[in-house]
Structure 1
């Protein structure tokens, strides 16, 4: 099924700004569909003014559908008795005779032209199924009154109302609860679900005829009198606002959509959603994250203590082999400590591995000074980006061993370079550590060597489902180790 933007590109010549307006309308028009109990179809004009294309469609969550099939992509051509063509021609809202049969179902049809800066950029056709519509009552009448105001705003290109974008999954909807307020903030109507939401915040009585900004201010524990301007602006805004309130027994999320007549503000529709359980889960998650970060912090401290002990013990060693072995162990422990330090400062179980790699390179440069190879320069090109925590520890050990191996065996006593080059995509990361030293001896087999470091690399890379290759560079002196790891 073609998207709205694709259909506009294929069939219409409306301006880019008008296209963005229609895209925003479709993103926000579910409120209109639910309050009017109507299916909505957006029609866009063809270059031929007698042809219109169905570009978007939605159904109400509050009542039965009037259109069983999907009409997106269909064309109305030269059917001059159709409401869409009449509205598109005259620029006026067109209503057909009541209870027109559609697939055997009585349906009311209304076509609302969208007039923006004097141009008709589209027509929204409203289909209301009269067969299964709810019995008229105060709730239904209130819904229709609000829907009527939105209809006029759509006609004048005043809906959707501007405002910052919000998380659609968290945003309240009509079914969650609706409060209708007038231009002073007085409650004109509240659905049962909305009343339940406010009882979560602590009210005992029905909020009808209450001033909603003042009521909410009290429930939020802000006793300032008179009602603060910040609270008034939340409920009587010039653009859509969305915010959360916590009360004595729960939490509620509110979305305020301002309404207008032709000449003045007409209050707002306030959508309410009980998010008590979500708020409780969020608090538990924050507590859990804090605990995990503290654990990482303590592990890092313990590992740094172990590394310091290994460093002290290495300095006391008189045998070079023992001193080198302790220094290598110290570097491995320090590399793991860096990962835990990064995790202790993060809210996510991911590691900014560029920082880890750079610290490994700095440690290797320090070791090169101790080895009398102070001419070794270590650099990194490319970026690891964020790496999952379950991969980061093993990967830190792998790059530590590769860099350490390049410094120890690739340094040729003079001005040597060790370069870590990184290539990353969504699925894997490729690391190449190269030096410009003497290179590998002829017939060298990494699998047959007794090197503990290379053995560690092979084992960890296999655990991560990756590959490890060690070979001489082509046309220039030195060796290169290549590791590819799945993320």
Structure 2
């Protein structure tokens, strides 16, 4: 289904500013549909090349359709994208032509029913840019109750604001996912910000906050509530949304001012009890902080183990033992880098580049010397990786870089020799690719990673193929220059790949 913006751009002659005005209206019209207990449809006149040959026969396209949550819908299927001419919607055409609110009844052939229609011109800058139509079945033999009468009156006040170009508001602080709905609770304030009406759900919400006094004619501030959001909304003439916390209860309060020719004539205050939502949010934050603290402690423990191993290495007289301990220390430190990053981030995904760069610096410091300088470089970005992928990858790259430094470059080389190792990162749709490229002596034609017996490559092979469900390949640079390319292809979700 095409979006409002797509339909308007391709089938109407509205400007960008007019499109934005309609998008704001659609963003807030769930509330309007609930207040009027009706379906709302938004009609936009078609551009000339989209209309029929008769210049007097205006045609419209439906760019928006919302159903009420306070009653049954009139239409079972969405009308968005449907093209209708003046004979099918005469009241819409009349409201568009005159720029006035038009009310009446028509027969809708698609549903074979008489429909009560209230057509409201949507105006911006003195120009009618669309028509908002309230469409419902006629009310027969039933007297509406106080709640229904109040809600319909509120809708009619907003309808006059729409026709005057005062609604939707140019700036709005609402979040559509967080904003309260009419069914959550409604309080109507008069011009003096005193309570005219409170719905049963609003009264229940206030009772949960400890407010049990009669609301009629009272200001919310006089009842012990913080009424600063209401005063701000009246002062600036725009909606204001804030959370009010009383004891264990948290209520989201949204104040929407209503305007007439004399200014702000009152306001609608919507209440939503978000206590459970906020408690879950706080619990998640607490759990997240606990997880980060665990990662921090694991990192500290790994650093302690690393220090103990280094102390043990200084006490041994065997060069082979010292080298084995040094390799173990580097592996431990590579894992510690992952936990250090996780201790700073929310969640279990990490930006792998933040791990790789210090890891490369660590290996560079270990393998370089004044007599044998090796330049390391990182290119590209790997995006974010799950911790269960990032941890073995850190160990794998530590081993590859160490192995490259040990075997790719001759121990004795000319003074002008320039040794270089490049780590290239590339992120795909469901995998990421890492290439370790050196300009060393290369490998013999019969060399195979699968048959390698060294501890470092054995660790790499086991982690890549078993833990990460990936592949590892070695090949020569395609341009014929000396060196070796080690390519790793790792699925971002090893469990699914396995």
**Taking structure 1 as the reference length, what is the TM-score of the superposition?**
0.91
Alignment partner, residue 447 of structure 1: 450
Q: How many Å apart are 1:183 and its aligned residue?
A: 3.0
Q: Which moved more, 1:421-430 or 1:206-215?
A: 206-215
Does the 8 Å contact 1:364/1:403 carry over to 2? yes
3-state DSSP class of the match of 1:465? coil
Alignment partner, residue 285 of structure 2: 286
Alignment partner, residue 458 of structure 1: 461
Q: Deviations over 1:394-443 (max 9, x none)?
A: 12112212222222222334431111110113422111111111111221
| Structure 1 alignment gaps of length 5 or more | 221-226
Q: Which moved more, 1:307-316 or 1:109-118?
A: 307-316
Alignment partner, residue 263 of structure 1: 262
Q: How many Å apart are 1:133 and its aligned residue?
A: 11
Alignment partner, residue 65 of structure 1: 73
Does the 8 Å contact 1:178/1:191 carry over to 2? yes
| Structure 2 alignment gaps of length 5 or more | 49-54, 412-416, 493-498
Q: Deviations over 1:220-260 (max 9, x none)?
A: 6xxxxxx76x6621565422222212112311112222211
Alignment partner, residue 11 of structure 1: 11
Q: Distance in 2 between matches of 1:271 and 1:376?
A: 66
Alignment partner, residue 337 of structure 1: 336
Aligned length: 477
Q: How many Å apart are 1:129 and its aligned residue?
A: 2.5
Does the 8 Å contact 2:33/2:66 carry over to 1? yes
1:157 lines up with 2:156 in the alignment: no
Q: Which moved more, 1:344-353 or 1:64-73?
A: 64-73
Does the 8 Å contact 2:234/2:264 carry over to 1? no
Q: How does 1:84-95 map to 2 (within 5 A)?
A: 84-95=92-103
Q: How does 1:142-153 map to 2 (within 5 A)?
A: 142-153=150-161
Alignment partner, residue 132 of structure 2: 124
1:476 lines up with 2:481 in the alignment: yes
Change beyond 3 A, Cα 1:214–1:399: farther
Q: Distance in 2 between matches of 1:274 and 1:134?
A: 33
1:353 lines up with 2:358 in the alignment: no
1:242 lines up with 2:241 in the alignment: yes
Q: How many Å apart are 1:301 and its aligned residue?
A: 0.5
1:467 lines up with 2:475 in the alignment: no
Q: How many Å apart are 1:341 and its aligned residue?
A: 1.1
Change beyond 3 A, Cα 1:81–1:132: closer
Does the 8 Å contact 2:105/2:115 carry over to 1? no
Q: Which moved more, 1:252-261 or 1:357-366?
A: 252-261
Q: Distance in 1 between matches of 2:9 and 2:445?
A: 63
Q: How many Å apart are 1:477 and its aligned residue?
A: 1.1
Q: Distance in 2 between matches of 1:401 and 1:133?
A: 83
Alignment partner, residue 42 of structure 1: 42
Does the 8 Å contact 2:382/2:425 carry over to 1? yes
Q: Deviations over 1:120-152 (max 9, x none)?
A: 211111112235998512211211121011101
Q: Distance in 2 between matches of 1:359 and 1:270?
A: 53
Alignment partner, residue 319 of structure 2: 320
Does the 8 Å contact 1:195/1:206 carry over to 2? no
Q: How many Å apart are 1:449 and its aligned residue?
A: 0.8
Alignment partner, residue 52 of structure 2: none
Does the 8 Å contact 1:63/1:134 carry over to 2? no
Q: How many Å apart are 1:383 and its aligned residue?
A: 1.1
1:53 lines up with 2:52 in the alignment: no
Q: Distance in 2 between matches of 1:246 and 1:134?
A: 41
Q: How does 1:382-397 map to 2 (within 5 A)?
A: 382-397=380-395
Q: Distance in 2 between matches of 1:46 and 1:134?
A: 39
3-state DSSP class of the match of 1:96? strand
Q: How many Å apart are 1:84 and its aligned residue?
A: 0.8
